[in-house]
Structure 1
C-alpha cells in the first residue's frame, strides 16, 4: 500500500485526532487551574500587602486575620521571614500569581507554547513551591503562628506546581524507557490522590505542632 494512503488512513487520522483532542483537553484543564489558582493567590497576596502596609503605617493596627494566638497574620508579618528577599513576600506573590493567571488565560484562548517556555514556567513554579514549603516550616516550627491568608497562598501554590510538573513530564512517556513510562503513568493516574496526600501531610504537621491549642477548642 502506498505510504500516502497509510498516512491518510482513517485509523491514523483518528488516532491523531484523539491525541490532539486529549492534548487540547489537558491544556484547557491546566488553563482553568492556572487561572483559578493565579486569581485566588493574587487576591490573597494583595490583601496581605494591604495589611502589611497598614501595619507599617500604624503599629497598633490589628490585622483582619488576627483571629487567635495561633491564627495570627500580625505575628508572621513582623518577622524577618516575611521579607525573605528584602521586600515583603506578598510583592513576590502578586507578581508571580499575576503571571500564572495570565498564562492560564492564554492557554484557555488556545495558545500552544514552546517547550522552552514551559521550562521557564517549571522553573518559576518550582521556586515558588520550594519557597512556600520553607515558609510553612518557618511558620509552623520557628514562628509558631499561622497566617490564614498565607495558608491560602500555600494551598494554591502546591497544585499549580504539581499539575504543571505532571503536564511537563508527559513528553517523556513517548521517549523514555519502560520504567519511566510506567512511573509517569502512575503519577498521571494518581495525581489527585498524590496531591491529597500532600495536603494531608502538611495538615498533619500543623495539627501535631499546635495540638495543645486545638485540643482547647474542642
Structure 2
C-alpha cells in the first residue's frame, strides 16, 4: 500500500497538471477567438474595386497637381492665363482668383494633393491584397464625406457666385463623389450588414442622379452662353 506522503504527492502533481492544462486551453481559446468589438468579416476589395480606387486617386491627384501649378503661375504673374481658361464660362483664372479658391487661407488644391495621395496608397495596398482594417475604411469614408460637403460648397460657388467653371475642378468633384460611394460599399461588405449593403448599393443610383443634376444645373445656368455656340 502507498504511504500517506506518496498519495499527497500524486494529488499535488495531478492538480498542477490540471491547472497547467486549463491554462493552455484558456490561452488557445483566447488566441483563437476574435476580439469582441471586431465586426469585420475579413472582406477585402477585389481587383476591379481596388484598381478603380487607384485610378480615381491618380486622376484626382493629377488634376489637383495641375491646378496647384497653375495657381502658383498665376500668383507669380497676375497676367498669366491658365491653360483651362478657354472662354468666359470655362475660366480657371476666374475661379482661382476668387476667395472661394482659398477657403482655409491656402489654395484648395493642396487639400486634394493630400487627400488623393491617401486614396492612391489605399488603392495600392488593396491591390496588394493587404487586409485593411474596418476602422481604416471608416476613416477614409469620413474624410471623403467631408470632401463631398466641400464639393457641394464649391459647386454652389462656381455656379451662383463666381459664374465660371474650372474643368479640372469638375473632374475632382466627379472623383470625390465616386470614391465616396465606392468606399461606402466596401464598408458595407466588410461589416456584412444587409441593411447597409442595400443602402450602399442604392447609392450608385444616387451618384448617377447627382451627376445628371450637376450637368443640368450647369446647362441651365449658363444656357445664355451655350446657345450662342449652337
Q: Is the aligned partner of 1:127 residue 2:146?
A: yes
Contact 2:181 2:200 in 1 (8 A): no
In structure 2, relative to structure 1, the CA distance for the partners of 1:115 and 1:183 (3 Å cut) is closer
Contact 1:30 1:164 in 2 (8 A): no
Structure 1 residue runs of 4+, over 6 Å off? none
TM-score, normalised with respect to structure 1: 0.81
Aligned residues: 190
Task: Give, in angstroms, the shift of residue 194 of structure 1.
Answer: 3.1
TM-score, normalised with respect to structure 2: 0.77
Q: Aligned match of 1:112 in 131, 143, 148?
A: 131
Task: Give, in angstroms, the shift of residue 172 of structure 1.
Answer: 5.4
- C-alpha offsets along residues 60-93 of structure 1, whole Å, 9 cap, x if unaligned? 1111100000000000000110011111011111
In structure 2, relative to structure 1, the CA distance for the partners of 1:182 and 1:115 (3 Å cut) is closer
2:222 is aligned to: 210
Task: Give, in angstroms, the shift of residue 155 of structure 1.
Answer: 1.4
In structure 2, relative to structure 1, the CA distance for the partners of 1:100 and 1:201 (3 Å cut) is same
Structure 1: gaps (5+ residues): 1-18, 175-180
Higher alpha-carbon Rg = 2
- C-alpha offsets along residues 166-208 of structure 1, whole Å, 9 cap, x if unaligned? 221335554xxxxxx35733642x5543322220011111111
CA RMSD of aligned residues (A): 1.9
Task: Give, in angstroms, the shift of residue 30 of structure 1.
Answer: 2.7
Q: Is the aligned partner of 1:155 residue 2:174?
A: yes
